[in-house]
């Protein structure tokens, strides 16, 4: 990736955070650009919230510094930062009306009462809560309370809005709807959003860019497509979606072609890119389940040429389990080497799910452009 020309709104420079013996964030360096919808993604306990809280100012970095709009904010208290946050519990003040909640930040900033009211009402409109100003928080549903928390943060026109697991407390349907709504809202207000989530679907669906964290370390930063199609290591490949990994040895490594000899796959795996690693080194060939095709195997001959075009890797196996999920089916296939491979197949017609069944011998085929080699 090229160096960004625009000045990042948030620069995290070699930030480390320790809680006693616990290393919560380990030497993180990250730049978030203005207007971006950025996601911090990772499993529970990987340090996402800690990183977010350091941006907000609730925790001070043990080492390193955090710049907001070019200024070092590492030691500035949260009430003096041009940043607002939507908390995981929403933290709507229970003893204040919705309108008082939303205008609280303006009140603290010394904005006159009439203007406060106007701006709070406009913010409520923005989150589709017009007319709810006089209610108290206990008269609201969870989703509505979240909107109040959103309006309360946005009304201050912060440079950055931080969201900690904003959708995790909602039920599945609402969560899906809110994904689109949040993304739309971000687009409308043009404020930089930084969202923490452990849900990879959420990050892929909403974020312009995301950083994947693992045990305090930033594993990879990129667009959702970069993270999914070009994962930097096995952790990222496995955390986003699911992946089949074939451990092997790098046999051929040319600029546009490489071959991995894998005992697990039982066949050489051809791929379309060079690796620039030492030949002979241990590597992992990664293939996503939806990128593998299933073919009937009536006899021991490889699939006919017209079924499997050139450039495909082919392996022989037997279907062990079928899970029918409606929109797609998941097949667990045991290769002749004993290695297990996961294949997903969309059910394009109502009869597709009947094509393959338990204990059926199959050919697996995947294109050399579908494989990526991971060195770590």
Partner 1 sequence: MKPMVEPLDYLRRGWMRLWLGVVFLFLYAPLLALVAFSFNDSKRNIVWKGFTLKYYQKAWENSGLVEAFGNSLAIAFVATVVSVVLGGMAALLLWRFRFPAKSVLSGLFGLPIVVPEICMGVAMLTFFVKIGWPADLPWPLNLGAVTMAHISFCFPFVAIVVGARLVSFNPEMEEAARDLGASDWDVLRDILVPHMKPALIAGALLAFTLSLDDFVITFFTSGPNTVTFPVKVYSMVRFALTPAVNAASTVLMAITILLTVLALRAQRGLQSSAQAH
Among 8, 47, 133, 158, binds ligand ADP (CB under 6 A): 47
* 69-108 binders of partner 1 (CB under 8 A): 77-80, 83-85, 87-89, 91, 93-95, 104-105, 108
Nearer to ligand ADP, 163 or 260 (CB): 163
> Mask of contacts with Mg ion, 39-58, x by CB under 5 A?
----------x---------
246 vs 233: CA distance, rounded Å:
13
CB atoms within 10 A of CB 188: 10
Comparing CB distances to partner 1, the nearer of 93 and 228 is 93
Kindly identify the residues of this chain, within the stretch 154-193, that bind partner 1 according to CB under 8 A: 156
With binding defined as CB under 6 A, does residue 46 bind ligand ADP?
A: yes
Angstrom distance (rounded) from CA 337 to CA 226? 31
Q: Does residue 48 bind ligand ADP (CB under 6 A)?
A: yes
147 near partner 1 (CB under 8 A): no
With contacts defined by CB under 6 A, name the span among 17-25, 79-87, 179-187, 241-249 that binds ligand ADP: 17-25
228: three-class secondary structure by DSSP: helix
Q: Angle at which helices 113-126 and 142-154 pack, to 10 degrees?
A: 130
User: What is the rounded distance in angstroms from the CA atom of residue 28 to the CA atom of residue 49?
Assistant: 13
Question: In the structure encoding, which two tokens stand for residue 349, read together?
Answer: 């017609």
Q: CA separation (Å) from 15 to 80, 197, 329?
A: 20, 20, 43
Other C-beta atoms lying within 10 Å of the C-beta of residue 280: 11
- Helix axis angle for 113-126 and 98-108, nearest 10°, is 120
Six token digits for residue 203? 């990050």
What does 24 bind: ligand ADP, partner 1, Mg ion, none (CB cut-off 5 to 8 Å by kind)?
A: ligand ADP
Measured CA to CA, the distance from residue 197 to residue 174 in angstroms comes to: 16
Pick what 93 binds: ligand ADP, partner 1, Mg ion, none; C-beta below 5 to 8 Å, kind-dependent: partner 1
Minimal distance in Å, beta carbon 238 to ligand ADP? 17
Q: Which of 50, 144, 200, 244 binds ligand ADP (CB under 6 A)?
A: 50
Q: How many residues bind ligand ADP (CB under 6 A)?
A: 11
Q: Point out which residues bind ligand ADP (CB under 6 A).
A: 19, 22, 24, 42, 44-50
């Amino acid at each position: 990736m090229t160096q960004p020309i625009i000045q990042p709104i948030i620069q995290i420079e070699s930030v480390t955070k320790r809680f006693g013996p616990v290393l919560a964030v380990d030497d993180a360096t990250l730049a978030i650009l203005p207007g971006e919808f950025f996601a911090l993604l990772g499993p529970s306990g990987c340090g996402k919230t800690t990183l977010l809280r350091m941006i907000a100012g609730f925790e001070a970095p043990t080492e390193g510094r955090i710049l907001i709009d070019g200024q070092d904010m590492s030691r500035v208290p949260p009430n003096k930062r041009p940043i607002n946050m939507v908390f995981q519990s929403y933290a709507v003040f229970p003893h204040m009306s919705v309108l008082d909640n939303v205008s609280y930040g303006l009140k603290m900033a010394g904005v006159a009462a009439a203007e406060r009211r106007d701006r709070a009402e406009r913010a409520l409109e923005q989150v589709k809560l017009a007319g709810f100003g006089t209610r108290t928080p206990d008269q609201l549903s969870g989703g509505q309370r979240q909107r109040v928390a959103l309006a309360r943060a946005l009304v201050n026109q912060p440079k950055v809005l931080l969201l900690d697991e904003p959708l995790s407390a909602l039920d599945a349907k609402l969560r899906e709807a809110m994904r689109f709504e949040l993304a739309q809202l971000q687009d409308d207000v043009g404020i930089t959003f930084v969202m923490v989530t452990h849900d990879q679907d959420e990050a892929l669906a909403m974020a312009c860019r995301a950083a994947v964290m693992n045990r305090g370390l930033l594993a990879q930063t990129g667009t959702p497509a970069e993270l999914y199609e070009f994962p930097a290591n096995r952790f990222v490949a496995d955390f986003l979606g699911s992946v089949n990994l074939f451990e092997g040895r790098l046999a051929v490594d040319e600029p546009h072609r490489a071959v991995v000899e894998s005992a697990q796959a039982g066949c050489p795996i051809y791929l379309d890119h060079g690796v620039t690693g030492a030949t002979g080194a241990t590597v992992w060939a990664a293939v996503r389940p939806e990128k593998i095709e299933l073919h009937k195997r009536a006899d021991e001959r490889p699939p006919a040429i017209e079924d499997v075009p050139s450039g495909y890797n082919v392996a022989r196996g037997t279907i062990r389990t079928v899970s029918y999920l409606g929109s797609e089916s998941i097949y667990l296939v045991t290769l002749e080497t004993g290695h297990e491979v996961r294949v997903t197949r969309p059910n394009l017609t109502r009869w597709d799910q009947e094509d393959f069944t338990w204990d059926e011998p199959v050919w697996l085929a995947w294109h050399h452009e579908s494989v990526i080699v991971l060195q770590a």
